Amino acid sequence: MGKPVESKLPVGLAPALAELGIAAADVLRVAGLPPGLLERPAVYLPVRDYFAFWRALREVSCDASIGLRLSRSFRAEHTEPLFLAMLSARDVGAGIAAVASYKRMLSPETIVVEHDTTRDEIVVRYVWPSEVGPPPQVLVDAELGFLVEVCRRATRVETLAPRRVLRLGASLEAHAEHAAFFGCPIDLGAPNNGLAFAREDTHRPFLTHNPALLQALEPYLTVHTPPSAPAAIGQVRATIAGRLSGRRPTVRGVGKELGMSTRALQRLLKDHGTSFRVLLDEVRSQHAQGYLRSTGFSDGEIAFLLGFADPNSFYRAFRAWTGQSPHEFRASQHVVFG
């Protein structure tokens, strides 16, 4: 499966712009895009138009730091798969991994995460395809700022800062507030845009990592254990559900969270006539059906949230679970978005 050729504008962008005193209609007009574009629930644009939107935002705002300000204005209640996956991650490192997975599956750009052993840093590089050209500074600011802002909110550490910000260009706009926002040096002329975190900081726990976070998705998900299920099996199911936002739970990880060895967990499940794979499929199927009934998430976004490697794997699994494709299931529920 090839990389996507379109980029999704963030959910909640119109109210975020309004909060900053910017009329979305003005930005769309300058970008040469349809005036009611942001009124749709999910907007995908060719990269050229996507870049034009961000350049227009800079022009209309007359603010060299508008991308950084925008990254602070996102709201978790604007339910977006990437937000959900990050906020339910275990720690900073897992949050970074969730973003990398999302970009790999659902964006033309790629995030490369490397361990620089010399500096003992985790380096996060944002790489756009060479044929689309470098992204606008305002877009880079918004993306890097978003990652740092989510990590600060999730850890409750307002001063959390990367060690370095990596910038592709040789200079930044005058009066831009990068140093104040990020709280670290800015390395200009880097091979890619990105961030470098101290490895120890990537182990900072996310206080939002809690299965109760899934309750915020109601009525999107069916996360409660069927009444007939034994309490122990219900606990395993709930733990799987709590680890299912943007990554595939493993029997080892679930066992560790439950204070059990892998062998003990497998034996427990066998004694109750089931297996980890069966429970994982059941929980994934419930979540998938909940998303398809109650949200406008794309099939690719649902595949990401359920921890599949790619949308095609999700399509095959969903047909095996229900006998229908995701599109056919959504149509049978008479669900219309847009």
Examine the domain organization and report whether 25 and 146 are in the same domain. yes
Instruction: Indicate whether 254 belongs to any domain.
Output: yes
pLDDT in tens, 233-243: 888 888 888 78
Mean pLDDT of 259-273: 89
Sign of the C-alpha dihedral computed for residues 17, 19, 22 and 23 taken in this order = positive
Which has more pLDDT, 249 or 122?
122
Among 182, 203, 224, the domain boundary falls at 203
The backbone region for 72, taken as left when phi is positive above 0, alpha when psi lies in -120 to 50, beta otherwise, is alpha
Instruction: Answer yes or no: is pLDDT of 232 > 70.
Output: yes
Domain boundary among 203, 237, 262: 203
At 93-119, the pLDDT tens digits run 999 999 999 998 889 999 999 999 999
pLDDT for 40: 81
Give the pair of three-digit tokens for residue 229. 């299920």
Structural domain contains residue 173: yes
Do 137 and 221 belong to one domain? no
- Assess whether 199 and 237 both reside in one domain: no
Helix (H) or strand (E) holding 255: helix 251-258
- In the chain, the N- to C-terminal Cα span, in Å, equals 26
Q: Is 1 inside any structural domain?
A: no
The predicted model gives 136-150 an average pLDDT of: 95
Nearest to 72 by CA among 188, 182, 187: 182
Q: Are residues 179 and 215 in the same domain?
A: no
Contact indicator for 333, 294 with CB cutoff of 8 Å? no
Domain that holds residue 303: 211-332
Domain count, the chain: 2
Per the domain annotation, does 163 fall within a domain?
yes
In the DSSP assignment, the letter for residue 158 is T
CA distances from 222 to 78, 254, 283, 288, 313 (A): 20, 19, 8, 9, 21
Residues 6+ apart with CB under 8 A from 227: none
Dist. CA 71–CA 9, nearest whole Å:
13
Same domain assignment for residues 274 and 243: yes
Q: What pLDDT, on a 0 to 100 scale, did the predictor assign at position 181? A: 96
Question: Residue 31 has what pLDDT?
Answer: 97
CA atoms within 13 A on the CB side of 154: 31
Query: Residues 111, 220: one domain?
Result: no
Residue 287 within any structural domain of the chain:
yes
pLDDT for res 77 = 55
164 in the same domain as 95:
yes
Task: Please tell me whether residues 229 and 107 are part of one structural domain.
Answer: no
Q: What is the CATH number of the domain that holds 42?
A: 3.90.1520
pLDDT tens digits for 56-99? 999 999 999 999 999 988 776 555 788 888 888 889 999 999 99
SS3 assignment for 62-102: CCCCHHHHHHHCCCCCCCCHHHHHHHCCCEHHHHHHHHHHH
Of the candidates 201, 189, 202, 194, which has an alpha carbon nearest to the alpha carbon of residue 124? 194
Task: Give residue 69's pLDDT.
Answer: 94
